[in-house]
Structure 1
């Protein structure tokens, strides 16, 4: 598969990583508190650095184990793991749907006003992977997919960097608004913030279902091909 073919294969996963309501709300809260330029920048960088570093490590480990050789034990194992991750996301969809009437704002959001840039960076790292039931399985699946592709090293690096950019597209929008038009941030973003908080559970349910089906389908298709 070519580099562009790999990126096309990763597009759904990248969009799934990007659509993170709580991460978007966090950036909006930083922007509306007047810290969009400093803390918002640090937060977005945290999201990007974590995705690139985590996926790179997994992809390198996979390639070192021979996952880029079709039919190898490691290649098959990654496909099985992808199917399992898809089933996990499907289960999370059910759990999220059951919580659809509980849309209270997370307590950590009330502390954002007191964050400095370093704390915002760490929050970006945590919310985009280690503490995200959606993003962690997707990043694991992306690392496995990239490791299975027969790419030369420069293409390997470019794919990971572009995938990282896919994952921060949504949080970049409110950050850009805070940089370009800081005086109009509240008017432009407050409605989006309230809507995302109110509909968080429904959004996540749909995402879990779509992404779970994507991972299961990709894993099965690769196994039987």
Structure 2
């Protein structure tokens, strides 16, 4: 199990470094309903990662992806290479946006969200509306489905992977819970920096992870 987790660590950390999601939870943490909405948002991200990766693992295991040199296993490796190429293409697109410091309009309405709306935003930003995270979660699901671990260890791997994936967004939420009076002063500068450097951060991640996925897929196919 530790070997699988080590293999997934880079992907999990890259999922955690999601500037827009971090900015969103910072905005919630500094709003009037920061504790409750921030909690719902973080839970939404965590639940989506677990369910999405879990479904992919179920599909992969049902197809026999854990069997060496099987067609499903080779297909997973091929998908991993394609995802790596997609990330490299997206790195070029993000680099072209590097000069933009515009905050998305939907972020201005975060302080008016209900509890369930905050949960839904967390679900959406954890994958469906995240061009960075969705390919990474697909790659993680493929990797886990290829492992020959027993069911209980696979469940543990998915839970730990998702936990690592929400670490960065959990930090401002923790600040809002532990020291709500200081949340604005503590989190305002990180928020401004993330908005200003979002495109560059994501570009670097896309390049590193694109080559990682391509390399891992080719290595598995060659082995």
Q: Shorter chain as normaliser: what TM range?
A: over 0.9
The answer as to whether partners of 1:30 and 1:39 remain within 8 angstroms in 2 is yes
1:27 to 7, 25, 31: 25
2:88 to 87, 90, 99: 90
- The corresponding residue for 2:215 is 217
- The corresponding residue for 2:70 is 72
**5+ residue gaps in structure 2?**
none
- The corresponding residue for 2:131 is 133
Normalization by structure 2: what TM-score?
Answer: 0.99
Q: Which deviations, in whole Å up to 9, do the C-alpha atoms of 1:97-127 show, x marking residues without a partner? A: 0111122000000111110110000000001
The answer as to whether partners of 1:62 and 1:147 remain within 8 angstroms in 2 is yes
**5+ residue gaps in structure 1?**
none
Deviation at 1:213, TM superposition (A): 1.1
Normalization by structure 1: what TM-score?
Answer: 0.98
Structure 1 residue 165 and structure 2 residue 163: aligned? yes
- CA distance in structure 1 between the partners assigned to 2:114 and 2:87 by the alignment: 33
Structure 1 residue 208 and structure 2 residue 206: aligned? yes
Query: Considering only aligned residues, what root-mean-square deviation do their CA atoms show, in Å?
Result: 0.6
- The corresponding residue for 2:8 is 10
The DSSP-based 3-state class of the residue aligned with 1:191 is helix
The DSSP-based 3-state class of the residue aligned with 1:199 is helix
Q: Which runs of 4+ in 1 moved over 3 A?
A: none
The DSSP-based 3-state class of the residue aligned with 1:23 is helix
